[in-house]
């Protein structure tokens, strides 16, 4: 079911790309100059999303379905947490994208976090992400 929903949203985003107004909302740009698009569902793992953003070049336009459409979150992620202001909020990344989105709505349109990941080998690693746009 998740795959069907993800495919339907991907196709919706594909169609909406024809609208320059929608394209303007996809502000995240990867290191190669392209603008990656990642479709997520509320139940997806945030840790998995952060890994995806990193593997796609460090930034991605994350599309999440909400009640009456989709929201786009421009995310940047890096394994180098030293670049992030140490005063930013620290979140555990073993939550869902839906919970993360709820936190973003509280914190406002621009937010930066330090994430703590619990890896299978018990090595704790840190990452970061910044939401730079929230549109519906």
Partner 1 sequence: MGITPPVGPGWSPPPPEECVESDSYTLFLTDADPPVERVKIRLTNGLPGMELVDFALVHETYYKRQWRTVAVADSSHDNEVHVHQYGRKTDRRIGKPDHICPIGRVADVTAGYDLAYDRVVSDWSTNRRRWHDG
Residues lying near partner 1 in the complex (CB under 8 A): 10-11, 14-15, 17-20, 23, 26, 29-30, 33-38, 51-52, 55-56
Task: Tell me how far, at minimum, the Cβ of 29 lies from partner 1, in Å.
Answer: 8
DSSP character for 28? -
Task: Tell me how far, at minimum, the Cβ of 18 lies from partner 1, in Å.
Answer: 5
Our CB check for partner 1 shows the closer of 35 and 103 to be 35
Are 91 and 131 in contact, with CB atoms under 8 Å apart? Answer: no
* CA–CA distance, 123 with 96 (Å, rounded to integer): 21
Task: Tell me how far, at minimum, the Cβ of 124 lies from partner 1, in Å.
Answer: 21
Are 62 and 40 in contact, with CB atoms under 8 Å apart? Answer: yes
Q: How far apart are the first and last CA of the chain?
A: 24
Give the three-state DSSP class for 78: strand
Our CB check for partner 1 shows the closer of 16 and 103 to be 16
The total of other beta-carbon atoms located within 10 Å of residue 122's CB is 6
Task: Tell me how far, at minimum, the Cβ of 88 lies from partner 1, in Å.
Answer: 27
């Amino acid at each position: 079911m998740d795959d069907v929903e993800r495919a339907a949203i991907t196709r919706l985003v594909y169609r909406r790309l024809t609208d320059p107004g929608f394209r303007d909302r996809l502000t995240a740009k990867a290191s190669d100059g392209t603008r990656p698009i990642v479709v997520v569902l509320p139940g997806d793992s945030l840790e998995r999303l952060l890994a995806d953003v990193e593997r796609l070049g460090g930034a991605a336009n994350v599309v999440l379905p909400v009640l009456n459409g989709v929201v786009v979150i421009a995310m940047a992620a890096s394994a180098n947490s030293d670049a992030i202001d140490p005063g930013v909020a620290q979140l555990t990344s073993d939550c869902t994208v839906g919970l993360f989105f709820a936190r973003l709505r509280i914190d406002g349109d621009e937010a930066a976090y330090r994430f703590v990941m619990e890896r299978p080998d018990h090595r704790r690693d840190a990452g970061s992400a910044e939401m730079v746009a929230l549109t519906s």
